[in-house]
């Protein structure tokens, strides 16, 4: 915002002298005015995107850098895509990032786990801060300005994570121009949703600006006996203290209630398939209540023309509690499932502090963009889960002829009762060096120490403490063959602490990953189109696998490998024609293992070898249809495994086709109509535990209206 405000405030200073000199000799060249206009219209790396194609990103380097100049595969899903497809959740938008697959959603609760390049991504970020610690709700689409998907390890900049990639959510920020949008959405599955997005300035000079997003939602479901409710409050205040300094205070409170719904069983010996609406729980168990509150205080301070200081504090607090019904196992008849009733209390909080110093300077005849950063993180988590009996004869239900309304059994055992603390201290350095006019290098490394304490309150001998130092380097090169075509290569490392203990009550070594990537980036300025294609090879070590001497325990002796090819495209081909999407080929499997149930060669769960998605929209500019937008989204996901075991069930490939249309009824009223899963494809979108598969939604018609006040 500072870069936008300064040119606005500079207009009187620039125009007044020009007017005063009108009666005298005119200035030779109006250089200052021209520079102001270019700066004001340029895209900011953390700001809104025009159409479907972003040109800059701050997530991959933590600096405002052109995507075309970054030696890494990056996809940006902007707010325009979210609006056009009628997205309500983060995952809806990520469907068009290219090569991002859906993982475990914790029984429909929205635990956000995705897979990038074959590996799960359980760490992701909001404005540069980790926000997926614990068991939080899936972020609401109403607060998204853009989602930036980073393929490959991001540990050098962000710390612990998986080597496949991650993503950073850039939330909607205050704008000086006052604007309020009221929205409403309904669909044929019983969705009832209302939204508010309002922004503006609190004073004439626009030193104080605000943004407030509100969501209220109630919904039925295509799943029997599954209903939910959701509320989201996300305020942002920005205070421009002076030309060089700004403070941003941002909050996000999300309340969600949803039954624990694992989906459909896929036992090897069950009698047959189940209809996609079949629910195996009990309404009387109630819903799990998930509440998350995130507060960020961020500082931006321009030290001088070359140096910028950014820093901030985030406090994240959350809880998940309530009753649920879960399976014990399948009886010999192939149709009767034993169940247990459970109650859980999960609580977590996370304090994160970070400071980054960015500088632009020349040294030894080379241009440098230097980034220095320090971070501290303190994560706490505790949980307790009580259950009824665990026999297959307990609390049974017939898979194919369920009778609901059985009395809930008594809680007789505590299966989980623990506490965990993880502290980390980190320092990182990154330098982007213009070696020549065409060749740029990116070098960096992160030194991080983490201290982990785990207390098992059911079995004190299984408690442990550990501390490790991790070094996460990254190196990349990008070379401009022409103004439109660049080639690049990078290599980087990742790490992630493991949880639990071995049979000797010793903590596991952390997972470590290394990735190599080569690719090309091609831009067609005349069509506002960008294409990135990359080859990658990733390995992850110290993966937990079964202890060969005692199958009740695990050892950090496994290794998994992922290799493949992906391509992403985004563009505003004409002012009316927009597209975004991608293709990925991923070969991911176990390469080292001591487990007989997970031998070498086992495919990783939820990872298709082939996936493809493309969103294509066209907006009429003239004639009787002026303003009407129509589009189609196509998603293909290849066959996948339901678990990383030798006997895991298979999930078939599927293709879905979505249609969209929007029309500005007036300058202030916009109508949306979306038809998802046009051909009513029956498919499984994700699996968990080698037992469960969550079905995809049937054909659904969704209508929406947005009113600008």
Measured CA to CA, the distance from residue 361 to residue 4 in angstroms comes to 23
Give bridge partners of residue 255 from the DSSP assignment. 231, 291
Report the SS3 class of residue 21. Answer: helix
Give the contacts of 422 (CB within 8 A, at least 6 positions apart). 377, 378, 379, 450, 451, 452, 453, 497
What's CA 363's distance to the chain center, in Å?
37
Measured CA to CA, the distance from residue 304 to residue 324 in angstroms comes to 57
Say what the pLDDT of residue 557 is: 67
Are the C-beta atoms of 72 and 149 separated by less than 8 Å?
no
Say what the pLDDT of residue 687 is: 92
Structure tokens at 558: 């496994």
Measured CA to CA, the distance from residue 605 to residue 644 in angstroms comes to 5
- Classify the C-alpha dihedral 453-459-461-462 as positive or negative: negative
Q: Where are the beta strands (DSSP E) in 331-438?
A: 336-363, 366-387, 397-398, 413-434
Segments of the chain with pLDDT less than 70:
1-41, 546-553, 557
Residue position matching structure tokens 């649920």: 324
The number of helices, as runs of H, and strands, as runs of E, in the chain is: 5, 38
Give the contacts of 660 (CB within 8 A, at least 6 positions apart). 84, 85, 86, 617, 629, 630, 631, 632, 633, 672, 673, 674, 675
Greatest alpha-carbon pair distance for the chain in Å reads 99
Which of 589, 582, 691 lies closest to 637, judged by CA?
582
Rg over CA atoms, the chain: 26
Structure tokens at 345: 């209390």
Q: How many residues does the chain have?
A: 709
Report the SS3 class of residue 611. Answer: strand
What is the phi/psi pair of residue 283, to 5°? -60, -35
Pairing state between β 179-187 and 577-592: unpaired
Say what the pLDDT of residue 77 is: 96
Measured CA to CA, the distance from residue 154 to residue 167 in angstroms comes to 9
The upper half-sphere exposure of residue 290, i.e. CA atoms within 13 Å in the direction of its Cβ, equals: 23
Are the C-beta atoms of 117 and 110 separated by less than 8 Å?
no
Q: Where are the beta strands (DSSP E) in 67-124?
A: 74-78, 100-102, 114-116, 119-121
Are the C-beta atoms of 656 and 229 separated by less than 8 Å?
no
Report the SS3 class of residue 160. Answer: coil
Are the C-beta atoms of 185 and 702 separated by less than 8 Å?
yes
Say what the pLDDT of residue 534 is: 98
Total-model pTM = 0.90
pLDDT tens for each residue of 236-282:
999 999 999 999 999 999 999 999 999 999 999 999 999 999 999 99
Measured CA to CA, the distance from residue 694 to residue 264 in angstroms comes to 6
Structure tokens at 169: 């959510």
Say what the pLDDT of residue 584 is: 97
Report the SS3 class of residue 130. Answer: strand
Measured CA to CA, the distance from residue 495 to residue 471 in angstroms comes to 9
Are the C-beta atoms of 13 and 25 separated by less than 8 Å?
no
Structure tokens at 9: 């405030």
Which of 680, 662, 681 lies closest to 672, judged by CA?
662
Measured CA to CA, the distance from residue 166 to residue 241 in angstroms comes to 33
pLDDT tens for each residue of 621-671:
998 899 999 999 999 999 999 988 888 999 999 999 999 999 999 999 999
Q: Count CB-CB contacts under 10 A for residue 211.
A: 22
Element (H, E) at 15: helix 2-20
The upper half-sphere exposure of residue 155, i.e. CA atoms within 13 Å in the direction of its Cβ, equals: 30
DSSP string, 533-558: EEEEEEEEEEEEEEETTEEEEEEEEE
Say what the pLDDT of residue 515 is: 97
Are the C-beta atoms of 235 and 251 separated by less than 8 Å?
yes
Which of 398, 388, 402 lies closest to 341, judged by CA?
388
């Amino acid at each position: 915002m500072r870069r936008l405000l300064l040119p606005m405030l500079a207009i009187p200073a620039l125009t007044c002298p020009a007017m005063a000199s009108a009666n005298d000799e005119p200035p030779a060249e109006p250089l200052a005015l021209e520079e102001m206009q270019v700066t004001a219209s340029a895209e900011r790396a953390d700001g809104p995107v025009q159409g479907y194609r972003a040109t800059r990103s701050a997530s991959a380097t933590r600096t405002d850098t052109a995507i075309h100049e970054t030696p890494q595969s990056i996809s940006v899903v902007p707010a325009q895509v979210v609006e056009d497809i009628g997205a309500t959740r983060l995952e809806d938008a990520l469907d068009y990032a290219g090569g991002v697959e859906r993982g475990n959603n914790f029984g429909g609760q929205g635990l956000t786990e995705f897979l990038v390049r074959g590996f799960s991504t359980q760490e992701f970020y909001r404005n540069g801060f980790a926000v997926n610690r614990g068991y939080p709700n899936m972020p609401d689409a109403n607060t998204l300005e853009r989602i930036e998907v980073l393929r490959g390890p991001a540990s050098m900049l962000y710390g612990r994570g998986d080597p496949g990639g991650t993503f950073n959510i850039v939330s909607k920020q205050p704008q000086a121009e006052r604007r309020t949008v009221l929205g409403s959405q309904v669909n044929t599955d019983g969705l009832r949703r209302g939204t508010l997005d309002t922004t503006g300035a609190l004073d004439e000079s626009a030193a104080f600006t605000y943004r407030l997003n509100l969501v209220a939602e109630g919904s039925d479901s295509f799943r029997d006996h599954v209903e939910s409710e959701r509320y989201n409050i996300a305020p942002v205040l920005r205070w421009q203290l002076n030309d060089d300094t700004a403070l941003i205070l941002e909050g996000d409170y999300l309340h969600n209630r949803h039954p624990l719904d694992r989906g459909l069983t896929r036992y090897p010996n069950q009698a047959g398939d189940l209809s996609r609406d079949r629910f195996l729980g009990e309404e009387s168990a109630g819903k799990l209540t998930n509440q998350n509150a995130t507060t960020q205080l961020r500082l931006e301070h321009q030290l001088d023309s070359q140096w910028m200081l950014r820093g901030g504090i985030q406090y994240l607090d959350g809880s998940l509690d309530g009753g649920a019904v879960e399976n014990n196992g399948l009886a010999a008849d192939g149709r009767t499932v034993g169940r247990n009733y459970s109650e859980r209390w999960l609580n977590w909080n996370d304090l994160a502090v970070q400071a980054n110093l960015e500088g632009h300077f020349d040294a030894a005849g080379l241009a440098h963009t230097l980034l220095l950063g320090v971070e501290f993180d303190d994560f706490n988590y505790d949980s307790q889960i009580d259950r009824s009996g665990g026999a297959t004869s307990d609390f049974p239900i017939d898979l194919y002829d369920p009778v609901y309304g059985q009395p809930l059994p008594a809680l007789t055992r505590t299966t989980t009762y623990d506490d965990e603390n993880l502290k980390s201290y980190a320092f990182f350095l990154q330098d982007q060096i213009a070696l020549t006019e065409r060749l740029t290098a990116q070098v960096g490394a992160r030194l991080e120490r983490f201290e982990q304490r785990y207390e098992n309150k059911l079995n004190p001998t299984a408690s442990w403490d550990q501390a490790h130092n991790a070094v996460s380097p990254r190196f990349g090169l990008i070379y401009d063959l022409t103004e439109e075509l660049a080639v690049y290569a990078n290599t980087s490392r990742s790490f992630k602490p493991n949880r639990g203990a071995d049979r000797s009550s010793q903590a596991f070594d952390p997972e470590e990953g290394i990735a190599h990537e080569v690719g090309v980036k091609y831009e067609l300025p005349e069509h506002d189109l960008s294409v990135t294609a990359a080859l990658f090879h990733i390995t992850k070590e110290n993966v937990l696998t079964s202890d060969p001497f005692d199958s009740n325990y695990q050892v950090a002796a496994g290794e998994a490998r992922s290799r493949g090819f992906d391509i992403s495209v985004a563009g505003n081909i004409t002012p009316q024609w927009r597209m975004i999407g991608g293709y990925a080929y991923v070969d991911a499997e176990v390469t080292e293992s001591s487990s007989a149930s997970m031998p070498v060669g086992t495919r990783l769960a939820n990872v298709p070898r082939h996936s493809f998605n493309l969103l294509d929209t066209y907006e009429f500019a003239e004639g009787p249809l002026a303003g009407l937008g129509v589009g189609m989204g196509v998603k293909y996901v290849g066959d996948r495994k339901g678990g990383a075991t030798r006997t895991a069930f298979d999930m078939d490939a599927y293709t879905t086709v979505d249609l969209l249309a929007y029309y500005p009824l007036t300058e202030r009223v916009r109508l949306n109509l979306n038809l998802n899963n046009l051909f009513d494809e029956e498919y499984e979108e994700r699996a968990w535990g080698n037992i469960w598969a969550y079905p995809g939604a049937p054909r659904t018609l969704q209508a929406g209206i947005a009113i600008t006040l």
